[in-house]
Amino acid sequence: MEKLGVIGGMGAEATSYYYDQVVRHTAAACDQEHIDMVVLSKSTMPDRTLAIKTGEHAKLLATMKECAQALESLGCAHIAIPCNTSHYFYDQIQSFTKVPIIHMPRESVRYALAGAVMGECEFDPNLSMPAEPVHKIGIMGTDGTVGAGVYGRECKAAGVEVVYPSEKRQNDVMSLIYDDVKAGREPDMDKFDRVMWEFARSGCDRVILACTELSVLQKYREMPEITLDAMDVLVRESIIRSGAPYRL
């Protein structure tokens, strides 16, 4: 197996959840069968959404460069970044290192088109398309992820329509992320329900939870069947690419 590097801390609970899921879904019978991991929990990383909105990228990219090169120097074979919004800067971050960085949004759209839903990532990602084609994918993420088209570009490249929440419902998403999860409060799931209802009325075949803070919602309630958590995809790809067997 190969060593996995993680640029985390965005936010801290999301990174903790990611690490827990990698351990939980690695088919290991003893300590030595788990993946060697280097987790840089860089909680002082500048806010990604704010950087996108203001155009002030320099400090964020300098910090990402420091992290990516540190992981490379420690012998990591792949890098995972459990933060969807940061993938707006994917090309720049990848240019800082020779170590391949897993593109979470790209992989998540690929999984969604292949028929994956919440908790069901056991299929071969090179497989055939699902019996019922996916035409519309709803994206639940930060203002930065939505406004910058992080998932929109991937959906367009895959030939599928992307659907974003209305302004009111996007406010609900941001409140869930910042006022609830990042603030360490129990999430108000009524906000989540309002957003999902709007996606349903828009005819979405899949809804991607495109913020790692939203992954934490699974602690409080079972997610609707049509949802796919980008964190689940990143976890699976992290395990498989590191050479370990994945288990449900």
pLDDT in tens, 145-156: 999 999 999 999
79 and 122 inside one domain: no
15 and 95 inside one domain: yes
- Residue 247 is assigned to a structural domain of this protein: no
195 and 120 inside one domain: yes
- Residue 18 is assigned to a structural domain of this protein: yes
The three-state DSSP-derived secondary structure of the chain is: CCCEEEEECCCHHHHHHHHHHHHHHECCCCHHHCCCEEEEECCCCCCHHHHHHHCCCHHHHHHHHHHHHHHHHCCCCEEECCCCHHHHHHHHHHHCCCCCECCHHHHHHHHHHCCCECCECCCCCCCCCCCCCCCEEEEECCHHHHHCCHHHHHHHHHCCEEECCCHHHHHHHHHHHHHHHCCCCCCCHHHHHHHHHHHHHCCCCEEEECCHHHHHHHHCCCCCCCEEEHHHHHHHHHHHHCCCCECC
- Residue 188 is assigned to a structural domain of this protein: yes
58 and 119 inside one domain: no
Amino acid in the structure at residue 242: S
- Residue 197 is assigned to a structural domain of this protein: yes
112 and 197 inside one domain: yes
Rounded to an integer, what distance in angstroms lies between the CA atom of residue 71 and that of residue 7? 8
98 and 111 inside one domain: no
- Residue 248 is assigned to a structural domain of this protein: no
Rounded to an integer, what distance in angstroms lies between the CA atom of residue 12 and that of residue 171? 22
Task: Give the residues across from 80 on adjacent strands.
Answer: 6
153 and 225 inside one domain: yes
Contact 47, 79 (CB under 8 A): no
- Residue 211 is assigned to a structural domain of this protein: yes
pLDDT of amino acid 111: 92
117 and 14 inside one domain: no
121 and 219 inside one domain: yes
Burial 105-123 (b: 16+ CB within 10 A, else e): bbbbbbbbbbbbbbeebee
81 and 124 inside one domain: no
CATH code for the domain of 29? 3.40.50.1860
112 and 224 inside one domain: yes
56-80 pLDDT, tens digit per residue, is 999 999 999 999 999 999 999 999 9
The torsion angles phi and psi of 6, rounded to 5 degrees, stand at -135, 125
Rounded mean pLDDT for each run of 10 residues along the chain, 248 residues in total:
96 91 96 97 94 94 98 98 94 98 96 72 48 85 92 94 97 96 92 96 94 88 91 96 95
- Count of the separate structural domains present in the chain: 2
111 and 219 inside one domain: yes
Amino acid in the structure at residue 190: D
Torsion of CA 163, 177, 104, 34, to 10 degrees: -150
What domain range includes position 162? Answer: 106-229
Strand pairing category for 37-41 and 78-80: unpaired
